[in-house]
Amino acid sequence: MADPSLISVWGLARGRLWFRSGRKPFRFPLTSLRPIGWLVKRRWFQFSVQLPLVLILGLLLYAGFYGTPVADENLATVLTWSIWWTLLILDILLLGRMWCLACPWEALAAWTRRLAFWRRSDEPLALNYRWPRWLQNVYPATILFTGLTWLELGYGVSMNPKATATLGLLMVMMAVVPALFFERRAFCKYGCLIGRVVGIYSMISPLEVRAKDKEVCRSCKSKDCYRGNDKGYACPTGQYLPTMQHNTYCTVCTECFKTCPSDNVALNLRPFSSDLQTIRKPRRDEAIFAIVLIALTSFHGLTMTPTWNAFLSDTIIATGWTRLTSFSLLMAGFLALPFLVFFLGARLATGLGAWTRKSLMGPRPVWRVAAAYAYPLIAVALMYHLAHNAGHFLMEGTMIIPVLSDPLGSGADVFGTADFQTRMLGSMNLVWALMIFFVLVGHVWAIRATERAHRGLAGEQRQTALPWKARLVISVFPLLVTCANLWLLAQPMEMRTGM
């Protein structure tokens, strides 16, 4: 097995070549292919990909509320947790924000707000209040995603079809109600727990929506991509193409393809993790969310090991607390640990480079360093998340075959597969090899992005060589997380319906 510490050293040693090659980044405009370019300009395009998922959502809600309470035999739990939530991470890696293009919750919100499916309307039900300034960050989504993890692992929502359906219905309400009260898609931008995970992970994706020529954008007076016109709506998350550099808040709704009078918008194919190499102004809220993702993904894997189960049982016996109370307190403690280690490392890093000068760092150098170094952790979190989910899918994916014939667990056999015996989609060696590959790729991407973050903080005009002490401190936290994740993947797992 490859040693991640060796990968770290090699990655840091090669960093200067990666970031000083002078070569123009690779981009291929997929919209230059006539069928794709034609399709994204059609008003009915988004509706055509949303409608099937809205119908599936309706079926899941019905199955959850009226089907069998046995999780492994109910379509709501099997399709939601073992299939959709598992494959969503792979979808993000390969297709970026395409889930938001097809999102059924956003579809119901948009259709209600506009009283139209795809026709351009004046959105008669929209009150268009401004989203509160103190909520213009991703902290609401961070809290909601942490709550979702607690519901799944602590409360056991993934093993309860009715609770899963209730959660799906709650998501509908969280999408529709803010869409009626607030301007554009403020909840999608700041509050949607799924959208924010998709958004921050999609910085790794090889797909992006960008301006073809930013000079054309700068000469544009109407700014229709931002404001909208009679051919399409304003950008739902308030993105402005000439200045947009990352995938985080673009929902690939394709409205800008329709509204741009100069046909200056492209859907590009690009190298993986491109956004992580271009972070110029790290945001504290996004950095904290990145660390939360690291903590939650690793914690999820931990809870499926015999070590965790023994620790939880010992805590319950020693304290006399209920299982839910013990789980909640232990979860809080384990989530706090990565924050403590990471910020101690950031504090140490501020004293090792020429980074404490206020002219470069501002009044809070530790936060500036911590925010910059947090973004590379997105690659580690995503690829461990993918490795963990790949194990689930390869071991549990065939559960969907009998459930499709009997979605309510009522004894039906619609497709003749109700008696299908579930089995693994590959050998354990294949599963293990894939998981190791994903984790190590994520580590390499993180080291590359960490090198870029260091160069940005140090200032290339003053320093072309990185001090070895700074390199060591930079690589410690991703290395610790990668080693911990490899250890988690090596443990015997309790495979169950879930993420």
Phi, psi of 491, deg, nearest 5: -80, 150
Please indicate, yes or no, whether residues 110 and 192 belong to a single structural domain of this protein. Answer: yes
CA distance 495 to 283: 37
Query: Regarding predicted confidence, which is higher, 144 or 451?
Result: 144
Let me know if residue 7 belongs to a domain. Answer: no
pLDDT score, position 282 = 87
231 and 327 co-located in one domain: no
| pLDDT tens by residue, 333-357 | 999 999 999 988 888 877 765 544 4
Average pLDDT (391-395) is 84
Q: Are residue 258 and residue 347 in the same domain, yes or no?
A: no
| Last residue within a domain, chosen from 253, 277, 301 | 277
Q: Are residues 258 and 295 in the same domain?
A: no
Q: What is the pLDDT of residue 299?
A: 94
Report the distance separating Cα 283 and Cα 132, nearest Å. 18
Q: Please give the structure tokens belonging to residue 120.
A: 């351009």
202, 239: one domain: yes
Domain presence at residue 9 = no
In a domain, 17, yes or no: no
- Closest by CA to 56, choosing from 116, 105, 110, is 105
Q: Is residue 497 part of a domain?
A: no
Residue 13 included in any domain? no
Residues 352 and 453 in one domain: yes
pLDDT class of 461 with cuts at 50, 70, 90: very low
Instruction: Express each pLDDT in 33-51 by its tens digit.
Output: 999 999 999 999 999 999 9
**230 and 105 in one domain?**
yes
Is residue 305, in this structure, part of any structural domain at all? Answer: yes
Domain shared by 225 and 337, yes or no: no
Global pTM?
0.90
Percent residues over pLDDT 70 in the chain: 88
Is 299 found in the same domain as 250?
no
Between the two ends of the chain, the Cα-to-Cα distance in Å is 26
Which regions of 381-453 does DSSP assign to beta strands (E)? none
259 occurs within a structural domain: yes
User: What is the pLDDT at residue 442?
Assistant: 95
Cα–Cα nearest to 71, from 170, 155, 148, 158: 158
Tokens 């993947």 found at: 489
pLDDT(387) > 50: yes
3-state secondary structure of 497: coil
Q: How far, CA to CA in Å, does 420 sit from each of 68, 402, 413, 415, 498?
A: 18, 6, 11, 11, 21
Structure tokens at 101: 């293009």
Q: What confidence score (pLDDT) does residue 344 get?
A: 87
CA 282 to centroid of chain Cα atoms: 17
Give the Cβ contact number of residue 434 at 10 Å.
16
Q: Residues 236-252: pLDDT tens digits? A: 999 999 889 899 999 99
Per the structure, the complete domain to which residue 364 belongs is given by: 281-490
Asked, for residue 15, whether it belongs to a domain, the answer is no
Tell me the mean pLDDT in the region 55-77: 95
Tokens representing 355? Answer: 């980074």
Residue at a domain's end among 277, 303, 336: 277
Last residue of a domain, one of 277, 304, 319: 277
Q: pLDDT averaged over the chain?
A: 87
CA–CA separation, 256 vs 229, rounded Å? 10
Domain count, the chain: 2
Copy the structure tokens of residue 75: 């379509």
Question: What's at 329, amino acid-wise?
Answer: L
Rounded Cα–Cα distance for residues 229 and 220 (Å): 14
